[in-house]
Structure 1
């Protein structure tokens, strides 16, 4: 599988990918990797090409079509924009205007076309975010994928800080976690730390605390060894990536021994033990149930509010 570079305007990282699954993120950024500098021309992806680019595992075409459609449905819900310095003039637009799926042909394909106002995101870039598709694609957690592409926007400085408000917005973290730092630690920071340590040498994550009762968390700071501007992204062998990842894990003093073992197992492709996997599955199930409960409550509250009006 060939290595690909994803390269786009920094503005793309400011848009929260709300409710995107890891599979949908892979599909979206695989498309982005091939749409750069194509202007408004229609770009055709065969199913086989897109599956290879995104490292898509399921084989059934009907399921693949459903995943592509879900990805596009979520994409049209995202609003990109341009704002004047005064903030009084605002132009909002979607990124793609054509997403044509043809699954009943001999060689099924998707035709995609970017909207003219979104061209600056992928064409004639003066500044950009750049990273290897294979590294992004191999991450499992949606939170880790979001952190990866945002940190890559600061790859040559080695430091990124997000206020709590911005962090929760960009990472699409449930509002129920606002005062539950244990949940943020368990479901957000833990997978980020374990999955990104192999890719960012010396990665540290620090919570910033404010004044007042209980010293509330007001932000999150990420630091790592800055990359050279001319750092190689593409022509790196799988073994070299593995060696660098292993070194980064073993020499990161922020990880406990257990976290190092888990991180090493992930880069080797070793499955977690049954007991540990069952525990993680149960925690994920509890997390999903809580998110669904909060969403339902928010809908009920909105309905009550509308009724009162």
Structure 2
């Protein structure tokens, strides 16, 4: 069943290896929920998964059973998907994203797929991506932004992903915000629907 769901034609032993690799890639996946009040910006972090159980046949090591448990704190968010409030993303697509900064940026951008624009205050961006405090701007460009943009440009709707740093008018060296731009994807629409238009 899993092979049918994933739409792949591989041996059962190879499928077992793939499932373990998939779990290694997604087990640390988390979700940032950002909300604002008149006086505060509130950032909440949820770990998506709490455990994984994989049962293999002996001695063939063919996959017999797979159970991935969602974190209880996250289930209410999952129940609200499709209501425009929270992000959803394809786990197989997410698993193919390389690099921790690219993965975090992917999750942030997916929350804005219907607008195609993400604007974040610079210090908040550094915090969300967990960029080391000692990284200077050139380090962030070389080690965070350039490789992440290159990685995400392999994925629809980020093929034309770009960014712009907003600076203070009186001090051009000081970055205040970073804006990301990508192709807008109307609510509920996927790549095939977009190509058919």
**Alpha-carbon separation, structure 1, partners of 2:93 and 2:107:** 10
Specify which structure has the higher proportion of helix: 1
**Alpha-carbon separation, structure 2, partners of 1:131 and 1:206:** 25
**Alpha-carbon separation, structure 2, partners of 1:92 and 1:230:** 25
Q: After TM superposition, give the deviation of residue 211 of structure 1 in Å.
A: 4.3
Q: After TM superposition, give the deviation of residue 152 of structure 1 in Å.
A: 1.4
**Alpha-carbon separation, structure 1, partners of 2:130 and 2:173:** 24
- Residues 83-94 of structure 1: matches in 2 within 5 Å? none
Contact 1:148/1:196, CA 8 A, preserved across alignment: yes
**Alpha-carbon separation, structure 1, partners of 2:95 and 2:49:** 22
Q: After TM superposition, give the deviation of residue 133 of structure 1 in Å.
A: 3.2
**Which of 131, 144, 151 in structure 2 is aligned with 1:195?**
151
CA RMSD after TM alignment:
4.3
Contact 1:96/1:112, CA 8 A, preserved across alignment: yes
2:126 is aligned with 1:160: no
What corresponds to 1:136 in structure 2? Answer: 94
What corresponds to 2:9 in structure 1? Answer: none
**Alpha-carbon separation, structure 1, partners of 2:49 and 2:174:** 40
Runs of 5+ in structure 1 lacking a partner?
5-45, 58-63, 241-309
Specify which structure has the higher proportion of strand: 2
Contact 1:204/1:222, CA 8 A, preserved across alignment: yes
Contact 2:31/2:107, CA 8 A, preserved across alignment: no
2:8 is aligned with 1:52: no
Relative to the length of structure 2, the TM-score reads 0.63
What corresponds to 1:215 in structure 2? Answer: 173
SS of the counterpart of 1:222? strand
Contact 2:32/2:108, CA 8 A, preserved across alignment: no
Contact 2:48/2:71, CA 8 A, preserved across alignment: yes
Q: After TM superposition, give the deviation of residue 188 of structure 1 in Å.
A: 0.8
Contact 1:131/1:233, CA 8 A, preserved across alignment: no
**Alpha-carbon separation, structure 2, partners of 1:95 and 1:208:** 32
Describe the superposition over 1:81-118 as per-residue Cα deviations: whole angstroms up to 9, x where unpaired: 9x9x799xxx9986655556778966676654445443
Q: Which has the higher contact order (CA 8 A, sep 6+)?
A: 1
Contact 2:121/2:176, CA 8 A, preserved across alignment: yes
What corresponds to 1:148 in structure 2? Answer: 106
- Residues 109-128 of structure 1: matches in 2 within 5 Å? 111-125=67-81, 126-127=83-84, 128=86
Q: Say which is worse superposed, 193-202 or 164-173, in terms of deviation.
A: 193-202
User: Max radius of gyration: which structure?
Assistant: 1
Describe the superposition over 1:218-275 as per-residue Cα deviations: whole angstroms up to 9, x where unpaired: 121011221233433589xxxx9xxxxxxxxxxxxxxxxxxxxxxxxxxxxxxxxxxx
Change (3 A) 1:176 1:224: same
SS of the counterpart of 1:146? helix
Runs of 5+ in structure 2 lacking a partner?
7-11
Q: After TM superposition, give the deviation of residue 174 of structure 1 in Å.
A: 0.8
Q: Number of residues paired by the alignment?
A: 174
SS of the counterpart of 2:89? strand
Q: After TM superposition, give the deviation of residue 204 of structure 1 in Å.
A: 1.7
